[in-house]
Structure 1
């Protein structure tokens, strides 16, 4: 699996989100930006992203996944 595959999976399941992936093989890092995260706890945000990739995590295609989530406003403030 490639980082671009992870990006496409998440973006197809979380409407309106933009994914910035990194990594290769079975170890990935994703930054997901979307309005869907507004008002959610950190755990709920992580769960939303994990749900998109659950099948790939369960079958071992993805072994390690680091997730960062932001609303568009939070992301914009990080960009300076």
Structure 2
């Protein structure tokens, strides 16, 4: 099972109404086909009710903890919303200074 699949499986525990797990590894230095190191998570869930942004991130990090390692997921961008906050899109990711030049 890929890291992406494992991450999706773990995040399902929060019963999201919307979940995007995007492998952004190709936009970072040292990329090669199949590399899984940088991910962006966009999640909408009632599990975030009453939580500040940092607490929402902590819930996600707790579920992904075993996948976060130098030889696995190096970076995890998180956008966590309540259904009432979700507007259908998340912010674009910034360019990596070490991204492959094309």
Q: Same fold (TM over 0.5)?
A: yes
- Partner SS, residue 28 of structure 1: strand
In structure 2, runs of 5+ residues without a counterpart are: 26-35, 90-102
Aligned-pair distance for 1:35? 0.3
Q: CA deviation at 1:8?
A: 1.7
Q: Which has the higher strand share?
A: 1
Query: What is the Cα deviation at residue 5 of structure 1?
Result: 3.1
Distance 2:82 2:75 in 1: 23
Could you state the TM-score of these two structures normalised by the residue count of structure 1?
0.80
Q: C-alpha deviations, 1:13-33, integer Å up to 9, x for none?
A: 32x224211015111000011
> What TM-score do you get using the length of structure 2 for normalisation?
0.65
- 5+ unaligned residues in a row in structure 1: which ranges? none
Return the index of the structure with the highest Cα Rg. 2
Match of 1:22 in 2: 22
Instruction: State how far apart, in whole Å, the 1-side matches of 2:4 and 2:69 are.
Output: 18
> SS of the counterpart of 2:22?
strand
RMSD: 2.0
**CA positional deviation for 1:41:** 0.8
Which runs of structure 2 are paired with 1:55-66 in the superposition (5 Å)? Answer: 55-58=66-69, 60-66=71-77
Q: Which has the higher helix share?
A: 1
Aligned residues: 76
